[in-house]
């Protein structure tokens, strides 16, 4: 029963996800030259050959795996790129890092790169996402910092790509992620790969859209829809996690309405209480001692006759 509802939701979200697609995978090296970064030819996901969708009805997952149809360099000879969608039958928190908080109306989308050989020494990957918004709505990118990293150790930044109508501040839908990817199928904190988002740009007319998106939005796609693009890059200067592990997993929560928001955990509240409370208690103790000392000093005076 719950599984059936979950799968129906999965299908609905897959349809919604059609409006938010990854278009290209770039790979670049930080060159020493003043020109900055060196880009390799991009992998266009429209030119990939994809396996048929793999559904797992117990885990409520759907996975689409593919590789470039033509791969002269052989970078994908042992590797593949995949998107995995996980639906949830109830609200909760994912068991694996980054342990995103989810509701029953949201699902998790994972971008997985496994075994793909990097073309350069220490090169990094960059994924370009495109979103299509119906007339009357627009996307905006929000970044929020929190002091609470209990569920995602050492990660303090949460990013959201929100769809909002022009005439109100309500949220129609969202993509939400933490500023990290992981270099392992069973991620630990030390497998973290830095994830950075570029600016959101209006890409009206510059991005060719897939036929599924065209079918979904119909005629309005060319005339009144707003197409936005966002680049998300993986890996920082310091860690060469991908080079070593040949694995990258980036998780995004996708859903309708307001994105779920982490509240402060009791652990963090008690740590804050202790951290703030201790100096206060010491201050009180200090003033008590001072009062005592002053009283004693007064009593030490002998009455002068």
Is residue 204 within the footprint of ligand NAG (CB under 6 A)? yes
Per the CB < 8 A criterion, the answer to whether 251 and 177 are in contact is yes
Is 169 an interacting residue with respect to ligand NAG (CB under 6 A)? no
Residue 198 in contact with ligand NAG, rule: CB under 6 A: yes
Instruction: Give residues with Cβ within 8 angstroms of 97, minimum separation 6.
Output: 152, 182, 187, 188, 189
The terminus-to-terminus CA distance of the chain in angstroms comes to: 97
Q: Is 136 in the site for ligand NAG (CB under 6 A)?
A: yes
- Shortest approach of ligand NAG to residue 178 CB, angstroms? 21
Q: Of 201 and 287, which has the nearer Cβ to ligand NAG?
A: 201
Nearest to ligand NAG of 124, 178 (CB atom)? 124
Q: Which of 3, 49, 56, 143 binds ligand NAG (CB under 6 A)?
A: 56
Q: Of these, 2, 3, 77, 188, which contacts ligand NAG (CB under 6 A)? A: 77
Residue environment code for 200-211, b if the CB has 16+ CB neighbours within 10 A, otherwise e: beebeeebebee
Return the number of the residue (36 or 277) whose C-beta is nearest ligand NAG: 36
Position 89 contacts ligand NAG (CB under 6 A) = no
Return the residue of 35, 121, 211, 305 that touches ligand NAG, per CB under 6 A.
121
Among 41, 72, 74, 266, binds ligand NAG (CB under 6 A): 74
Q: Phi and psi for 55 in degrees, rounded to 5?
A: -105, 140
**Residues 213-252, mask of contacts with ligand NAG (x by CB under 6 A):** ----------xx-x--xxx---------------------
Q: Find the part of the chain contacting ligand NAG (CB under 6 A) among 73-81, 84-92, 207-215, 297-305.
A: 73-81
What is the footprint of ligand NAG within residues 5-24 (CB under 6 A)? Answer: none
As measured in angstroms, the least distance from the Cβ of 241 to ligand NAG is 14
How many other C-beta atoms can be found within 10 angstroms of the C-beta atom of residue 214?
Answer: 15
Q: What is the DSSP string of 69-130?
A: S--TT-TTTT-EEEEEEEE-SS-EE-SSTT--EE-TTEEEEEEEEESPPPSSTT-EEEEEEE
CA distance 108 to 174: 12
Q: Among residues 51, 69, 78, 281, which is the contact residue for ligand NAG, using CB under 6 A?
A: 78
Q: Name the burial class of residue 109, with classes exposed (0-12), middle (13-18) and buried (19+) by CB atoms within 10 angstroms of its CB.
A: buried
Residues 128 and 227 sit within 8 Å (Cβ to Cβ): no
Q: How far is C-alpha 245 from the geometric centre of its chain's CA atoms?
A: 20
Query: Any contact of residue 59 with ligand NAG (CB under 6 A)?
Result: yes
Spatial distance between the Cα atoms of 60 and 253, rounded to a whole number of angstroms: 15
Ranges of H-type helices in the chain: 2-17, 211-217, 220-223, 241-245, 266-300
Question: Judged by CB under 6 A, does residue 282 bind ligand NAG?
Answer: no
- Minimum Å distance from CB 67 to ligand NAG? 12
Q: Can residue 276 be called a binding residue for ligand NAG (CB under 6 A)?
A: no
Facing residues of 202 across strands?
Answer: 228
> Does residue 26 touch ligand NAG according to CB under 6 A?
yes
131 binds ligand NAG (CB under 6 A): no
Length of the chain: 305
In the complex, which residues of this chain contact ligand NAG (CB under 6 A)? 26, 39, 56, 58-59, 74, 77-78, 117, 121, 126, 128, 136, 165, 167-168, 198, 201-202, 204, 223-224, 226, 229-231
């Amino acid at each position: 029963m719950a599984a059936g509802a979950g799968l129906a939701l999965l299908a609905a979200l897959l349809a919604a996800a059609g409006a938010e697609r990854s278009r290209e995978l770039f790979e670049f090296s930080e060159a020493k030259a003043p020109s900055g970064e060196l880009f390799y030819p991009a992998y266009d996901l429209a030119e990939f050959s994809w396996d048929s969708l793999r559904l797992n009805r117990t885990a409520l997952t759907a996975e689409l795996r593919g590789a470039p149809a033509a791969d002269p360099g052989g970078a994908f000879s042992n590797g593949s790129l995949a998107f995995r969608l996980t639906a949830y039958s109830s609200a909760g928190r994912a068991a694996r890092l980054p342990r995103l908080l989810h509701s029953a109306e949201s699902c998790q989308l994972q971008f997985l790169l496994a075994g793909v050989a990097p073309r350069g020494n220490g090169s990094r990957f960059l994924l370009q996402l495109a979103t299509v918004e119906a007339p009357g709505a627009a996307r905006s990118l929000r970044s929020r910092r929190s002091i609470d990293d209990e569920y995602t150790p050492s990660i303090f930044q949460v990013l959201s790509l929100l769809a909002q109508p022009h005439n109100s501040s309500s949220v129609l839908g969202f993509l939400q992620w933490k500023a990290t990817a992981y270099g392992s199928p069973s991620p630990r904190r030390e497998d973290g790969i830095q994830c950075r988002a570029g600016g959101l740009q209006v890409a009206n007319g510059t991005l060719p859209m897939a036929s599924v998106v065209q079918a979904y939005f119909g005629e309005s796609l060319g005339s009144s829809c707003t197409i936005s693009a966002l680049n998300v890059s993986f890996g920082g200067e310091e860690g060469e996690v991908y080079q070593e592990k040949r694995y990258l997993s980036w998780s995004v929560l996708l859903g309708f309405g307001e994105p779920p928001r982490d509240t402060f955990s009791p652990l963090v509240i008690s740590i804050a209480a202790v951290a703030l409370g201790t100096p206060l208690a010491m201050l009180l103790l200090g003033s008590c001692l001072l009062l005592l000392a002053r009283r004693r000093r007064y009593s030490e005076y002998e009455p002068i006759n």
